Structure 1
Amino acid sequence: MAKILLVEDNEMNRDMLSRRLMRRGFEVIVAVDGELGVITAESELPDLIVMDMSLPVLDGWEATKRLKQIPATCNIPIIGCSAHAMVGDRERGIEAGCDDYDTKPIEFARLLGKIERLLEKYARD
Structure 2
Amino acid sequence: MMKRILVVEDNDLNRKLFCDVLAANGFSVEPVADGETALPRARDFVPNLVIMDIQLPNVSGLDLISEMKRDTALRNTPVLAVTAYAGKGDEERIREAGAEGYLAKPVSIGPFMTAVRGLLEGRGQEAAA
Structure 2 counterpart of 1:16, which letter?
Answer: L
Q: Quote the residue 2:65 is aligned against.
A: 64
How far apart in 2 are the matches of 1:108 and 1:37? 23
Instruction: Tell me whether 1:2 sits opposite 2:12 in the alignment.
Output: no
**1:12-45 deviation line (CA, Å, top 9, x unaligned):** 1111111111000011101112221111111111
TM-score, normalised to structure 2's length? 0.91
Q: How far off its partner does 1:5 sit? A: 0.3
Structure 2 counterpart of 1:32, which letter?
Answer: A
Q: Quote the residue 2:12 is aligned against.
A: 11
Q: Quote the residue 2:32 is aligned against.
A: 31
Instruction: Tell me whether 1:114 sits opposite 2:99 in the alignment.
Output: no
How far apart in 2 are the matches of 1:52 and 1:74? 18
How far apart in 1 are the matches of 2:15 and 2:100? 21
Q: How far off its partner does 1:84 sit? A: 2.3
**1:18-97 map, 5 Å:** 18-97=19-98
The answer to which structure has the higher helix fraction is 1
Instruction: Tell me whether 1:103 sits opposite 2:104 in the alignment.
Output: yes
Which secondary structure does the structure 2 equivalent of 1:121 belong to? coil
8 Å Cα contact 1:53/1:60 also seen in 2: yes
TM-score, normalised to structure 1's length? 0.94
Gaps of 5+ in 2: 124-129
How far apart in 2 are the matches of 1:87 and 1:28? 32
Q: Aligned residues: percent identity? A: 35
How far apart in 2 are the matches of 1:16 and 1:33? 17
How far apart in 2 are the matches of 1:119 and 1:46? 10
How far apart in 2 are the matches of 1:78 and 1:84? 16
Which secondary structure does the structure 2 equivalent of 1:29 belong to? strand
Shift >4 Å, 4+ stretches: none
Structure 1 counterpart of 2:29, which letter?
Answer: V
How far apart in 1 are the matches of 2:80 and 2:99? 6
Aligned residues: 122
